[in-house]
Chain A
Amino acid sequence: MSLLEELHEVGRPRPTGAIPLGLLAQPERTAKVYVPALAGPRWLGEVVVRLERLRPGRCEEAVSEQVLVEALQELMRFLPADATAPAVGPTGNGGVQFEWHRGGWDVEVEFHHGDAYAWMENCNTGERWSGALSDRLDDLRATIRAISSH
């Protein structure tokens, strides 16, 4: 079962549009060809491909299915539909980390069993904040929207 199917299973609405699920497990280069055809958030295809790589049995530092699904749910909740897709990597302690490095900002968002933590720093001005994702959701959305337009 793919992450998107699991997302549907746990009660979240599936993104609109036909998702070529079989393609999402293929190499990123192939999947990218199909991403523009998706009707969901523009970052969704790339993120699902990257999350799929972290599933148990697919990498040395696998992340549990539950954490992957939770992370994708959280991302769908806060990330603007037109945002640039983040890099996706394991935290090393069973969590997932999303990263953006553009528009002068370095941004990291970690998810680990209910703990959602965000950190942002502007490499030009030194402006920085960090804390629980829920505390600075609007700031994070605004920053990611701004850097996505670069």
Chain B
Amino acid sequence: MAPDDRDAVSDDDVIHRRVLHRPGEMVAYDENQQRWLPLAAAIRFDPDLSVSLESRLVDRGICADDVAASKPGAVAFGCTVSTARGIEFGVTYTPVTPNLTVLDECHGSVWPVDRWDRGEFKSRRNRLRIALAQTGGQPLL
């Protein structure tokens, strides 16, 4: 089992992953899915994947666009927590301590399952990569 916290992060919450809009390096037009998606290189676990939790953003009066705007040239891709959990990732609320910015207070972590071998991990990460196109992905103008 991956670390998971269903009390702190509900299934209907949304995770937003900030990705630099660098075509061919961090994002690409996925011919299979017929849309722009983050590349696997942008979905990096160390050991968790850093995301922002929408419920925490809303509590602070901000949104996914603010996640993207927090770094020049970035976009934010998102999916529901239930989707991530459906791929067997765990999701926890992990505010950065000490809190440096409002976004740090909204920080969440997506966790893989320890027992996944390298190939299984890549398959699960690929499913999450595709799922992250549920919301966002558009460069801010």
Chain A residues proximal to chain B, CB less than 8 Å: 28, 46, 50, 53-54, 87-92, 97, 99, 101-106, 108, 117, 119, 121, 123, 128-131, 150
The reply on B24 being an interface residue by CB < 8 A is yes
Instruction: Give the number of residue pairs across the A-B interface with Cβ within 8 Å.
Output: 70
Question: Contacting chain A: which of B57-65, B90-98, B104-112, B118-126?
Answer: B118-126
Q: Are A87 and B28 in contact (CB under 8 A)?
A: yes
CB<8 Å pairs between A and B, sample of 22: A28-B23, A53-B22, A87-B28, A87-B41, A89-B39, A89-B42, A90-B41, A92-B41, A97-B41, A99-B28, A99-B39, A99-B41, A101-B32, A105-B32, A108-B40, A108-B126, A117-B118, A123-B33, A123-B130, A129-B119, A130-B122, A131-B119
Q: Are B25 and A53 in contact (CB under 8 A)?
A: yes
Task: Check A50/B123 contact, CB under 8 A, given A87-B39, A106-B32, A150-B31.
Answer: no
Q: List chain B residues, Cβ under 8 A from A105.
A: 32
Q: Are A108 and B26 in contact (CB under 8 A)?
A: no
Is chain B's binding surface mostly helix, strand, loop or mixed? mixed
CB distance from B98 to the nearest CB of A (A): 23
Q: List chain A residues, Cβ under 8 A from B123.
A: 119, 121, 128
Chain B residues proximal to chain A, CB less than 8 Å: 22-26, 28, 30-33, 37, 39-42, 44, 46, 118-119, 122-123, 126, 130
